[in-house]
């Protein structure tokens, strides 16, 4: 049974999420403030985190920033704010998805299932590898089996979806992918979110692997079409 942590200060919303997820067979835990949520994340293991932005004591962005490099789990952020800046901030800190209140509980369940399914697929793929497989593109080195990335011998820390995106582009060098194609391949669903997620993640990967993001030597933008990793 997959374990899900909900960090949400609105009791009625948290309970509604819990009810719908438990109907689908998930084991669900609720924390009602940021401190309680952060402690739960540090002391227990979960398969997915549903994280509200506005929380008592510690806000959702701070929690995400604190745990992102330690916890390689899907994070779905929830907010009453509709401004794009909040969505971009959440994604830039390592969130995998973003949903705005009020939302359809069935849509939330669909997103949760999709993220867990894709995460399990990715883990299974790498666990089934018998020996190490490494991609080397000039100074960029990607170790698939242990999910490590190096630039000129220096290890670079990438979040789950950042690594998945970089690896997919590297395994299909010089091929141009649209934002829609990348979104469907890496996130695994189409109509439940938007392709701004791809743009944000491409920007984050570039910041970590490119010497000059204005003139990238790895991930190129093909204007009007999408992105490719040049070899």
What is the structure's pLDDT at 148? Answer: 92
Look at the domain 3-125 and name its fold: Rossmann fold (3.40.50)
Residue 121, pLDDT above cutoff 90: no
What percentage of residues in the chain have a pLDDT greater than 70? 91
pLDDT digits (tens, 9 = 90+) for 12-65: 999 999 999 999 999 999 999 999 999 999 889 999 999 999 999 999 999 998
Please list, in sequence order, all residues whose beta carbon lies within 8 angstroms of the beta carbon of residue 89, skipping any fewer than 6 positions away: 61
C-alpha distance from residue 61 to each of 97, 110, 216 (Å): 13, 23, 29
**Domain map of the chain by residue range?**
3-125, 129-229
Residue 190, pLDDT above cutoff 60: no
What is the structure's pLDDT at 132? Answer: 47
CA contacts within 13 A on the Cβ side of 131: 0
Which of these CATH numbers, 1.10.10.410, 1.10.1040.50, 1.10.10.10, 1.10.260.40, describes 129-229?
1.10.10.10
The residue count for the chain: 231
Q: How far apart are the first and last CA of the chain?
A: 42
CB 96 within 8 A of CB 74: yes
Q: What is the mean pLDDT of residues 61-85?
A: 83
Q: What is the mean pLDDT of residues 199-215?
A: 93
Report which of residues 129 and 85 the model is more confident about.
85
| Angle (CA) 159 187 6, round 5° | 70
What is the structure's pLDDT at 25? Answer: 95
Which stretches of the chain are DSSP H helices?
11-23, 34-43, 60-67, 84-92, 105-127, 160-171, 179-186, 196-209
Residue 230, pLDDT above cutoff 60: yes
To 10 degrees, what angle do helices 60-67 and 84-92 make?
20
What is the structure's pLDDT at 130? Answer: 37
Report which of residues 66 and 6 the model is more confident about.
6
Mean pLDDT of the chain: 87
């Amino acid at each position: 049974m997959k374990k899900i942590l909900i960090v949400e200060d609105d009791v009625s919303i948290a309970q509604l999420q819990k009810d719908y997820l438990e109907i689908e067979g998930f084991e669900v835990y609720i924390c009602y403030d940021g401190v309680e949520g952060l402690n739960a994340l540090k002391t227990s293991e979960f398969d997915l985190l549903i994280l509200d932005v506005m929380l008592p004591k510690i806000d959702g962005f701070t929690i995400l920033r604190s745990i992102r490099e330690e916890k390689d789990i899907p994070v779905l952020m929830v907010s009453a704010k509709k401004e794009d800046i909040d969505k971009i901030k959440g994604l830039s800190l390592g969130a995998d998805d973003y949903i705005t209140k009020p939302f359809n509980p069935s849509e939330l369940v669909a997103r949760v299932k999709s993220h867990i399914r894709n995460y399990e697929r990715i883990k299974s793929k790498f666990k089934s590898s018998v020996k190490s497989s490494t991609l080397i593109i000039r100074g960029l080195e990607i170790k698939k089996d242990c999910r490590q990335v190096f630039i000129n011998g220096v290890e670079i820390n990438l979040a789950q979806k950042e690594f998945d995106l970089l690896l997919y582009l590297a395994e299909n060098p010089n091929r141009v992918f649209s934002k829609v194609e990348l979104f469907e391949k890496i996130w695994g669903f189409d109509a439940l979110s938007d392709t701004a997620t791809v743009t944000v993640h491409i920007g984050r990967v570039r910041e970590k692997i490119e010497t000059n993001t204005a003139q990238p030597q790895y991930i190129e933008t093909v204007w009007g079409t999408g992105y490719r990793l040049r070899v």
